[in-house]
Amino acid sequence: MKRCMVAILLLLLGACASPVRQEIARDTSVAEAPPPAGAGQELAMRALGFVGVPYRWGGSSPDTGFDCSGLIRYVYEQITGRPLPYNAYGLARFGTTIDDAELQPGDLVFFNTMREPYSHVGIYLGESRFLHAPSSGSTVRIADMNKRYWQRRYNGARRLPI
């Protein structure tokens, strides 16, 4: 079941590189050079392999569980070998701020879930979906940013240097 879900999501990620999204990216001037094509998708695809891993406060390993920032840090360090800030608030200050229209798979999306800005983070997958480790008693899962809960708490997005 998990493999089927990952395969379907990988197909969705491929669909996210539509000509419309590519045109938006081309028309946008960014101070920093964009990451290599597919770098963000690699982050998203690797993260998908952790769907179902239990949530654990402060967790940063698939063996013991993840919290939201621990999941991001683990996957990013596996790809780049570079560390990231420890919590969602620290991650919100890292990388480049991007417009919602520029969202691509692998970008980080931030939410206010604890009455504090940037208190939760996930990895954007495309088609308004993101992967995250939500809370105690749950597992790493995919959520829909169009759901009212997430829309009301959305704080913005950032692109990591990969």
Question: Looking at 45, 53, 68, 91, which residue is catalytic?
Answer: 68
62: left (phi over 0), alpha (psi -120 to 50) or beta: alpha
Task: Determine whether 111 is an active site residue.
Answer: no
Task: Determine whether 68 is an active site residue.
Answer: yes
Question: Looking at 55, 67, 106, 120, which residue is catalytic?
Answer: 120
CB of 139 closer than 8 Å to CB of 78: no
Question: Looking at 73, 129, 132, 159, which residue is catalytic?
Answer: 132
CB of 120 closer than 8 Å to CB of 113: yes
Residue type, 29: S
Q: Return the structure tokens found at 98.
A: 């991007």
CB of 149 closer than 8 Å to CB of 138: no
Q: Which DSSP symbol is given to 102?
A: G
From residue 150, how far is each of 12, 57, 154 by CA, in Å? Answer: 20, 20, 6
Task: Determine whether 4 is an active site residue.
Answer: no
Residues carrying an active site annotation: 68, 120, 132
